[in-house]
Amino acid sequence: MTGHDHSHEHSELGEMDLRVRALESVLTQKGYIDPAALDVLIDTYQTRIGPRNGARVVARAWVDRAFRDWLLKDATAAIASLGYTGRQGEHMVAVENTAEQHHMVVCTLCSCYPWPVLGLPPTWYKSAPYRSRAVKDPRGVLADFGTVLPESTRIRVWDSTAEVRYLVIPQRPEGTEGMSEEELAALVTRDSMIGTRRVEAPATPGSAA
C-alpha cells in the first residue's frame, strides 16, 4: 500500500457538495428539475457511458498483444491513443488479472478514481466499509460481490491515489475466441475493471437465462 495525497475528493461531504445538494433541493421544490430524471442521467454516466470507455480499452488489449504490452508498460499513453484523456486520468497504471494473480483497486482514504475510463465512482467504492475491508479482508470482500477465487490465487490490492489511478484488465473468459472487439467490449463491466468481479462468458444459445 502506498502513501496518499488526499487533499481532495474526501468521502465526507465538503462545502461544495453541501451547496450543490442544497441547490438541488431548492430547484426540485420549485419544480425546475425532476429528481428521477437526474438520477437516470447520473446512472447513465456512472454505469454505461463512462465504463464503456474502459471496456473498449480492455477489449483492445484482449485482441491486440502489442496494445496490451503498451498498456501494461505505459497505460496513460495507451489509453490516450484511444481518445480517453482528461482530469483524473493523467497518471494511469494497468494491472492484469490472471488465474494465478487477481488485482482489485481501492482508495483507502477517499475516492480517487479514473473518471475518463470508468465514469463516476459507484457509491460502494466510496463507502467506509469497502475502503477498510478491501485492505484487511480482500477475499471476503470479493466473495461479497460473488467473486470466489481459488485459495491458490494471489490477491493484490492497489491503493489509488491523487497521483496514480489503476485500471484492472480482467481475464478474458473462455468461449470468446470468435468474438469481435466490439462484442468483447460489451462483456466488460465497470466492476471487473475495479477488480471486484470477473467478466462472465457470454450465454450460449439454448442456455438457461
The answer to whether 95 and 103 are in contact (CB under 8 A) is: yes
Which candidate in 25, 81, 112, 160 is catalytic? 112
110 belongs to the catalytic site? yes
Give me the catalytic one of 11, 81, 107, 132: 107
127 given a catalytic annotation: no
Residue with grid cell 475466441, as numbered in its chain: 177
- Of 122, 90, 87, give the one whose Cα is nearest residue 105: 122
Q: Which candidate in 11, 25, 81, 110 is catalytic? A: 110
Per the CB < 8 A criterion, the answer to whether 105 and 168 are in contact is yes
Residue 64: which residues within 8 A CB-CB, separation 6 or more?
A: none
Residue 146: alpha-carbon gap to chain centroid? 16
Residues 6+ apart with CB under 8 A from 27: 33
Give the DSSP H or E segment for 93. Answer: strand 92-96
Q: Which one of 7, 11, 81, 111 is the catalytic residue?
A: 111
Q: Outline where 64-180 has alpha helix (H).
A: 65-73, 75-80, 115-118, 123-126, 128-136, 138-144
Nearest to 155 by CA among 168, 165, 164: 168
Contact 187, 199 (CB under 8 A): yes
> What are the catalytic residues?
107, 110-112
